[in-house]
Amino acid sequence: MKTLKIAIQKSGRLNEKSVELLKNCGLNFENYKSSLISPVSNFPLEILFLRDDDIPEYVQDGIADLGIVGENVIEETEVEVAYLQRLGFGKCSLKIAIPNNSDIGSLAALNGKAIATTYPVILNKYLQNNNIEADIRTISGSVEISPGLGLSDAICDLVSTGGTLKSNGLMPFADVMSSEAVLIGRKGEENSDLIQELIQRVQSVLRAKETKYVVLNAPKANLDAITALLPGVKSPSVVALAESDWVAVHTVIPERDFWDRISQLKQAGAQGIVVLPIEKIII
């Protein structure tokens, strides 16, 4: 049987979450910091630990079958790969930022200005789409200090908390793209059985992350009101209790409307609400 290869970041912001996701998919491997390849003992897969910039090209060229990388890197390297699954971590946005005291007041005011970035390809497309002719200064890092050094009028860089911009006297000015980590594959190979099996494992882990398992005690008199608040996978399970006026209700609740639902459940008379994490949801 063919052994697949998946490329993930060797160290950096996406490494830990990528390793955690693969381990949650039930894959056993050593997270060697020193080696480039780690075999998975219970699935025909090898993990390649690489610099994130190399991952899209390795996947495009078939050196790796799959990869986990930020969308920003894929767009910047302009490779042809298949997007298989958004992964919900590594979220950030690529923004143009200007000094707090800048006189740039509109997008058009960027005409003729110098913008420092490590993302010249994406920035160039953005400027072209907005009919702006600016001088893109490609640098390899520490973009945020370039306006202070008089090297540029603006920057285009990734932002997550905004702390780096703030501490360098910069403010966000325009959103160029938003990004998160994605699972990518080689175009045309997406439908192979092994790849489909891995995608399904990843999806079952992501689904589980988005939901909680809830067990609660409900007064029988209010059972209809309480079950109406609980979607469940099909519908909630209702279990008899020794005390005949009460039942136990088991269900899953989406994380996004979790607190709303919990307070409504309490109002409807639910007691002893226990919330448990879910490991996987296979549908």
Residues lying near Zn ion in the complex (CB under 5 A): 52-53
In order of 70, 134, 223, the CA distances from 144 in angstroms are: 20, 18, 57
For ligand PRT, the closer CB: 51 or 266: 51
Binding mask 85-104 for ligand PRT (x = CB under 6 A): -----x-x------------
Q: Residue 161: which of ligand PRT, Zn ion, none does it interact with, CB under 5 to 8 A by kind?
A: ligand PRT
Rounded CA-CA distance 126/132 in Å is: 9
What 8-state DSSP symbol labels residue 3? P
Binding mask 159-198 for ligand PRT (x = CB under 6 A): xxxxxx--------------x-------------------
Quickly list H helices, the chain: 15-24, 55-60, 71-77, 120-129, 163-167, 193-209, 223-228, 258-267
**Shortest spacing between CB 109 and ligand PRT, in angstroms:** 24
For Zn ion, the closer CB: 6 or 45: 6
Is residue 140 a contact residue for ligand PRT (CB under 6 A)? no
User: In this chain, which stretch among 33-41, 152-160, 182-190, 259-267 interacts with ligand PRT, using CB under 6 A?
Assistant: 152-160
Q: Give helix then strand counts, H and E, for the chain.
A: 8, 15
Mention every residue, 6+ apart, whose C-beta is less than 8 A from residue 8.
14, 15, 18, 19, 22, 47, 48, 49, 50, 55, 67, 68
User: In this chain, which stretch among 29-37, 68-76, 203-211, 269-277 interacts with ligand PRT, using CB under 6 A?
Assistant: 68-76
**Shortest spacing between CB 166 and ligand PRT, in angstroms:** 8
Closest-by-Cβ residue to ligand PRT is 70
Rounded CA-CA distance 200/66 in Å is: 14
Is residue 56 a contact residue for ligand PRT (CB under 6 A)? no
What 8-state DSSP symbol labels residue 132? -
Counting Cβ atoms within 10 Å, is residue 246 exposed (0-12), middle (13-18) or buried (19+)?
middle
Q: Applying CB under 6 A, which residues contact ligand PRT?
A: 9, 12-14, 51-53, 70, 72-73, 90, 92, 157-164, 179
